[in-house]
């Protein structure tokens, strides 16, 4: 395997990490679609930055994209506060308008420049190794590695420096403001980092993969834990796994690298959505099944307690009578009785059922909580 293959994977891992860091807070703030808006709306900022520098590698393009991203956030907030339209509609209006403006600017003034709309949307990681960073005649590797790496370090540094403040602003912005931590400044700083990440990554991976990596891994991590520090860590790990597995899927299928990576992000979420330890569908199904049996056992011991030492006990405490009185089907009734017997809540005396002391206690507790 050539060095180019390793460089593509390394760049994709760095991009995945850079996207997962701010993406975690976007998901927790219920602003996941803001990543979509920003990743599209940064286009006019990039174009203006190119007009000023005439250099696609200039850091001013990242600055221009960041400014455009902040403008997007500010416009969305302003429209939302008018109470004329909802936030989702405001996001759709702003980002589609700014993105269309960027497309028009490219079509009108930059037709002869390698600033391609398809590359903005889809990217092409296969070309990353050909755009090298040369310093004093030495080849230091792909430029995208350094651009996204620097932005990733900025994101990591910002989160480490303001971790407590970000955590407080994310979960209780009112308390954050009361304590004087300026949640508005934190919000716009975070959005600026999202914009810079999107600009740094768009040429290599395209805006679609940026959105997938910002939203998918944090959403998957949220299914695994509700602890912020662990969620950030899991988001990074899942993003890197999606990048690596997506690359090899593209290699084997001879398909789009960015497309396969975005697909693996979706596959990760689908798997965890089913088997996550706390919120997965399988765990939820097991929990509901357990609750159904537990509730049925409580109904059984309450039924036996109510008819204990009464003239009707010979009839009501028969196993075959449970189907009539509690409207249970025979297999289910037998299953409830078997579980109650295994837990020593009842005992069988011929065809009749009797409560044990522990079963009687359970029935009294259940009746108290009804």
Q: How far apart are CA 247 and CA 124, in angstroms?
A: 12
- Statement to judge: residues 231 and 95 lie in one domain: yes
Q: Are residues 250 and 341 in the same domain?
A: no
For residue 75, what pLDDT is reported?
A: 87
- Last residue of one domain, picked from the residues 224, 246, 279: 279
At 120, the pLDDT band (50, 70, 90 cuts) reads low
- Residue 287 and residue 275 share a domain: no
pLDDT at 116: 52
Residue 368 has pLDDT above 80, yes or no: no
Q: What is the pLDDT of residue 122?
A: 56
Task: Using the 3D structure, point to which of 260, 279, 298 is the last residue of a domain.
Answer: 279
Pairing relation of β-strands 132-135 and 138-142? antiparallel
Give the total number of structural domains in the chain.
2
Place of tokens 């003239």: 311
Instruction: Kindly state whether residues 60 and 168 are assigned to the same domain.
Output: yes
pLDDT at res. 123 = 62
Q: Which residue has the higher pLDDT, 350 or 224?
A: 224
Could you give the C-alpha distances from 205 to 128, 208, 360, in angstroms and in order? 9, 8, 65
Whether residue 13 is found in the same domain as residue 118: yes
- The CATH number of whichever domain residue 246 belongs to comes to 1.10.3470.10
Whole-number average pLDDT of the chain: 83
Instruction: Note the pLDDT of residue 170.
Output: 87
Residue range 10-58, pLDDT digits in tens: 999 999 999 999 999 999 988 888 887 887 787 788 788 777 877 766 7
Whether residue 344 sits in one domain with residue 250: no
| Statement to judge: residues 226 and 291 lie in one domain | no
pLDDT bin (cut points 50, 70, 90) of residue 350 is confident
Is the separation of the CB atoms in 170 and 28 below 8 Å?
yes
CATH code, 358: 1.10.10.10
User: Out of 217-226, 234-243, 299-308, which region has the weakest mean confidence (pLDDT)?
Assistant: 299-308
Chosen domain end from 246, 279, 312:
279
The dihedral through the CA atoms of 291, 297, 298, 303 has a sign that is positive
CB 290 within 8 A of CB 283: no
Residue with tokens 């959005």: 191
Q: What is the dihedral of CA 26, 27, 29, 34, to 10 degrees?
A: 50
At 115 the pLDDT is 52
Residue 344: which region, alpha, beta or left (left: phi > 0; alpha: psi -120 to 50)? left
Task: Answer whether 301's CB lies under 8 Å from 340's CB.
Answer: yes
Domain, as residue range, for 180: 3-279
pLDDT in tens, 165-194: 899 888 888 888 787 778 888 888 888 888
Higher pLDDT, 234 or 192: 234
Whether residue 117 has pLDDT greater than 60: no
> What percent of the chain is predicted at pLDDT more than 90?
21
Q: What is the pLDDT of residues 247-272, one digit of tens each?
A: 999 989 988 888 899 999 999 999 99
**What is the distance between the alpha carbons of residues 276 and 86, in angstroms, rounded to a whole number?**
32
């Amino acid at each position: 395997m050539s060095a180019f293959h390793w460089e593509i994977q390394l760049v994709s891992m760095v991009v995945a990490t850079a996207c997962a860091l701010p993406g975690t807070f976007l998901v927790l703030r219920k602003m996941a679609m803001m990543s979509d808006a920003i990743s599209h709306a940064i286009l006019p900022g990039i174009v203006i930055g190119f007009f000023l520098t005439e250099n696609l590698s200039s850091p001013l393009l990242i600055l221009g994209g960041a400014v455009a991203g902040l403008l997007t956030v500010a416009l969305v907030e302003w429209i939302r506060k008018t109470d004329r339209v909802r936030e989702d509609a405001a996001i759709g209006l702003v980002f589609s308008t700014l993105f269309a403006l960027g497309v028009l600017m490219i079509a009108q003034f930059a037709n002869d420049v390698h600033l391609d709309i398809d590359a903005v949307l889809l990217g092409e990681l296969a070309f990353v190794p050909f755009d090298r960073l040369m310093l004093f005649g030495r080849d230091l590797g792909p430029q995208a590695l350094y651009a996204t790496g620097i932005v990733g370090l900025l994101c990591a540094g910002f989160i480490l420096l303001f971790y407590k403040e970000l955590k407080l602003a994310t979960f209780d912005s009112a308390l954050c403001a009361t304590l004087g931590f300026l949640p508005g400044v934190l919000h716009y700083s975070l959005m600026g980092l999202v914009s810079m990440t999107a600009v740094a990554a768009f040429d290599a991976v395209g805006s679609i993969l940026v959105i997938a990596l910002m939203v998918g891994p944090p959403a998957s991590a949220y299914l695994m834990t509700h602890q912020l520090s662990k969620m950030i860590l899991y988001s990074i790990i899942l993003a890197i796994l999606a990048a690596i597995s997506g690359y090899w899927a593209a290699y084997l299928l001879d398909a789009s690298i960015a497309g396969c990576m975005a697909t693996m992000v979706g596959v990760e979420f689908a798997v965890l959505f089913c088997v996550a330890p706390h919120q997965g569908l399988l765990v939820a199904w097991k929990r509901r099944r357990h609750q159904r049996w537990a509730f049925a056992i409580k109904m059984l011991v309450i039924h036996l307690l109510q008819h204990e030492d009464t003239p009707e006990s010979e009839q009501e405490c028969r196993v075959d009578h449970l189907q009539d009185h509690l409207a249970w089907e025979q297999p289910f009734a037998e299953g409830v009785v078997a579980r109650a017997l295994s837990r020593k809540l009842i005992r069988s005396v011929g065809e009749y059922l009797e409560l044990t002391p522990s079963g009687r206690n359970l029935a009294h507790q259940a009746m108290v909580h009804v």
